[in-house]
DNA sequence: ATGGCTTATTGTATAAGA
């Protein structure tokens, strides 16, 4: 089983890249973030022609998350319970007995801004819900754009970024609280090298110079760790014309 | 040198991303 996450920065613009990628990689689940469109505009038909079912919760202009799969998706869930939020940032479903949770965690903009506080509040509401979800589904993967680089090695220039959004201590503490639910960073099980990033700024020739951040992650429960066989970042789509600023992160399991 | 680019929007500048 191959699962992946990709912030596409507008599915309207990126649909050709997504169709090419699923054709080439045949994922069993592909989590998308920043679809930036309402459900009524979601390209269900084009994906169906490519052999993929889709579930989506979206809104105009911002946010929006989806899961694509050639398999049946059951027990679909959206939004954090008991957390009033207009923003579409969470969708989950069960695929072949594996619980797939797709998130677009808030960016936070700047430390101590209102958006930063919203990010912390969102994580504080999300984490206990995820704990109940793990209790229900021992085989669970949390995939998405976390907007957190968990360690200095996940940042191209830690000294320049000290205290900034994406790496600040309170964000990293929130990430650790997810790990403390018993989850493992799937990518780091297989690759401990520095310079491994999932996002590069469009400006400053960021990709060419590898000035990136590793902020897209796949966290997995012990039951999935046991059967994991590989994890990698696929930089291929970042080299295309008009790319997303993020690129897919993939985890493979022996199922 | 605090910008640089890309996206969406009842747009022709602004907001947001990270």
Strands of chain A, DSSP E: 2-7, 29-33, 53-57, 65-69, 74-78, 90-95, 98-104, 140-145, 184-185, 199-200, 212-213, 216-220, 228-233, 249-253
Q: Which residues touch strand B (CB under 7 A)?
A: A 7, 9-10, 12-13, 34, 36, 60-62, 106-107, 109-110, 115, 145, 147, 160, 165-166, 199, 201-204, 213, 215, 242, 245-246
Instruction: Mark whether A45 is an active-site residue.
Output: no
The CA distance from A178 to A155, in Å, is: 20
- Share the mean pLDDT of chain A: 97
Give A89-103 pLDDT, tens digit per residue: 999 999 999 999 999
Is pLDDT above 90 for A111? yes
Instruction: Mark whether A232 is an active-site residue.
Output: no
In the structure, how far is the CA atom of residue A65 from the C1' atom of nucleotide B11, in angstroms?
Answer: 26
User: Shortest CA–C1' contact from A110: which nucleotide?
Assistant: B18
Give A163-207 pLDDT, tens digit per residue: 999 999 999 999 999 999 999 999 999 999 999 999 999 999 999
Q: At what angle do helices A114-136 and A169-179 cross, to 10 degrees?
A: 10
Contact A11, A35 (CB under 8 A): yes
User: Shortest CA–C1' contact from A11: which nucleotide?
Assistant: B7
DSSP string, A214-240: --EEEEE-HHHHTTEEEEEE--GGGGS
In the structure, how far is the CA atom of residue A101 from the C1' atom of nucleotide B14, in angstroms?
Answer: 34
Q: Name the active-site residue from A28, A145, A185, A245.
A: A145
Contact A28, A71 (CB under 8 A): yes
The CA distance from A12 to A50, in Å, is: 16
Is pLDDT above 90 for A230? yes
């Amino acid at each position: 089983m191959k699962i992946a996450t990709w912030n596409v920065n507008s599915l309207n613009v990126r649909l050709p890249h997504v169709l090419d990628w699923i054709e080439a990689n045949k994922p069993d689940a592909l989590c998308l973030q920043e679809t930036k469109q309402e459900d009524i505009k979601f390209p269900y038909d084009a994906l169906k022609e490519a052999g993929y079912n889709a579930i989506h919760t979206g809104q105009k202009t911002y946010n929006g998350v989806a899961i694509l799969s050639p398999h049946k998706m059951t027990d679909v869930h959206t939004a954090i319970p008991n957390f009033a939020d207009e923003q579409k940032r969470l969708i989950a479903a069960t695929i072949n007995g594996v619980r797939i949770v797709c998130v677009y965690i808030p960016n936070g903009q700047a430390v101590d801004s209102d958006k930063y506080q919203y990010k912390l509040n969102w994580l504080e509401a999300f984490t206990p819900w995820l704990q109940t979800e793990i209790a229900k589904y021992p085989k669970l993967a949390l995939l998405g754009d976390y907007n957190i680089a968990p360690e200095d090695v996940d940042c191209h220039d830690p000294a320049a970024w000290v205290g900034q959004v994406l790496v600040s201590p309170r964000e990293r503490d929130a990430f650790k609280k997810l790990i403390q639910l018993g989850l493992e960073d799937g990518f780091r099980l297989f690759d401990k090298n520095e310079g491994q990033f999932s996002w590069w700024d469009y400006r400053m020739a960021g990709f060419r110079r590898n000035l990136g951040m590793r902020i897209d992650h796949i966290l997995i429960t012990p039951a999935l760790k046991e059967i994991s066989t590989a994890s990698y970042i696929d930089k291929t789509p970042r080299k295309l014309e008009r790319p997303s600023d993020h690129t897919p992160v993939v985890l493979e399991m022996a199922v």
